[in-house]
Amino acid sequence: MLDIPRLRVLRAVVATSSIRASAAALGYTPSAVSQQLATLQRETGLRLFERSGRGIEPTAAGRILAAEADTLFEAFGRVERVVGDLRAGRVGSLSIGYFSSAGSALLAPAVAALRAEFPELRLDLLLTEYTQGEPDVDIFVEESGAEHPGAVRVHRLAEDPYVAVVRADDPLAGLPEVPLADLAERHWVDNDLHEGTCRQVLLNACAQAGFSPGFVVETHDYRTAMSFVATGIGLTVVPALAIGQLPDGLTTVALVSPTPVRRLSVAVKESVARHPAVRRTVELLEELVSGTRTGRRPGGATQAGELHARPERFGADRR
């Protein structure tokens, strides 16, 4: 295999027609340049230069080899630029896993910012509730007793309290907060497709309050559940992050004694943890979570609660 630095010397000598000038340009001594050329001639078995007066002149073979080397070094230049871009996070791909209620509240604004800052970065978004795989960055809900798979760094994003969603004419609508046990005799609208971590957080809190929710309607997502609440069938209990824009005629009430809380975290693969776009993704998620607040809702009244941001690193679990 030809030696790349020697080809670089060949190109310089062909371009300058001078060993001394080439040595100055490359930072070598003239004798080192001569030695490199002699070695290259032995490696190729070609006569690349010949004497011309007090200097040297490239042969036809030397010129052809130097011209071909130009193409090689153009390719190397492109590779070096790609390496620089990768270090700066400008190209390549990044996969981000998320769960449903993180999509609009966290993922959409984070992706918009990433596209603006890293326009050549391809983003692959994976709804981890329905797809397999281990994304580079994974937004997830901690599950007690379970560990996130793989070699990852885990950052706590927030504690996300649950709130009751009720009609604006409900007797609870004017209250700043309500003990969870006061909902024991109410009709509930279920809102979780899977009996996963988010639902278990709620059921555990209800058990602590001494009852099991009386579900009269089973729906598979928060938005549909809230539309049923609007009909007067019952109430639903939803993490604050999942509220978004409440339908007209609904409001939220904070829950206490106890307050159901799910813990949101982001796991980053160790192999990509230093990538600028990955670091920026974590920063954006922390900024979005810490800035997420729910204000007064139409019809009444109450604050839905707030996300308590805790951007610290710790060992956590996967949903």
Residues with Cβ within 8 Å of residue 64, at least 6 apart in sequence: none
pLDDT score, position 294:
37
One domain for residues 39 and 106: no
> With bands split at pLDDT 50, 70 and 90, how would you rate the model's confidence at 318?
very low
User: How, if at all, do strands 93-98 and 137-141 pair?
Assistant: parallel
Report the candidate in 266, 199, 279, 268 with the shortest Cα–Cα distance to residue 239: 199
Kindly report which listed range (71-80, 224-233, 239-248) carries the lowest average pLDDT score: 71-80
Tell whether the model's pLDDT for residue 221 goes beyond 50: yes
Residues 156 and 209 in one domain: yes
CB 135 within 8 Å of CB 256 = no
- Residue 130 placed within a domain: yes
Does residue 260 sit within a domain? yes
Average pLDDT over residues 271-295: 81
Strands 308-313 and 93-98: unpaired
Residue 30 in domain:
yes
In this predicted structure, the answer to whether residue 134 has a pLDDT above a threshold of 90 is no
- 242 pLDDT tier (thresholds 50, 70, 90): confident
Q: How confident is the model at residue 194 (pLDDT cuts 50, 70, 90)?
A: low
**Residue appearing with tokens 């309500």:** 178
Decide if pLDDT at 138 tops 70: yes
pLDDT at 316: 36
Question: Residue 213's domain is classified under what CATH number?
Answer: 3.40.190.290
In 105-176 the beta strands, taken as DSSP E runs, fall at: 122-127, 137-141, 152-167
Number of H helices, E strands in the chain: 9, 13
The parent domain of residue 14 ranges over 4-88
Given a contact cutoff of 8 angstroms between Cβ atoms, the answer to whether 162 and 237 are in contact is: yes
pLDDT of residue 149: 63
Task: Record the pTM.
Answer: 0.63
